[in-house]
Amino acid sequence: MYFLRMKSNMKYSLILALLTTVLLFTACKQKPTIVVESKVNSPWTYDNPMEFSFEVSDTTNFNDMILSLNHSSTFSYQNIYVKINTTFPSNEITEDIISLNISDGKGSFLGNCSGKKCQIDLLLQERFRFDQIGQYTISINQNGRDKELEGIFGAELKIYQVQNQPQK
């Protein structure tokens, strides 16, 4: 499984925000086929990963993978670097490091905030197929420059089935 690589370039941040908005607009009409929650103890440290385990029985349909990240309204970073390890049913493990943009760089969060809590839906992978039936585990470790990251509460990993139409 390969995750979208994000660059700190503002152009890519705007494209990601647009893709996420379009995806969420269409995804709101359907329910996810898989939802797994993981909470973290604050502060989020290098050795305290969010883990999401789930069973896959369909390798024919296309899917979108969304991470609904819960954070404090006082979170002090524009983005979070994370290391994502995916363990496949065959026990093969892949590792990717990506940046999750949660702010527009001007102090406004890209997600929805209510009181002291915010939530942002981040597109991790778009229009992919699982290539194996069985148990998957996705582990997300914070990989920032600070050993302890205050203000992250946890997340939900959501898998949405998308239509099998060819990409244009």
Give the mean pLDDT of 113-129.
96
Give the mean pLDDT of 58-86.
95
pLDDT of 5 above 60: no
Q: In this predicted structure, what is the pLDDT of residue 22?
A: 54
pTM of the predicted protein model: 0.80
How would you write the chain as a 3-class SS string? CCCCCCCCCHHHHHHHHHHHHHHHHHHCCCCCCEEEEEECCCCEECCCCEEEEEEECCCCCEEEEEEEEEEECCCCCCEEEEEEEEECCCCCEEEEEEEEECECCCCCECCEEECCEEEEEEEEEEEECCCCCEEEEEEEEECCCCCEECCEEEEEEEEEEECCCCCC
pLDDT of 7 above 50: no
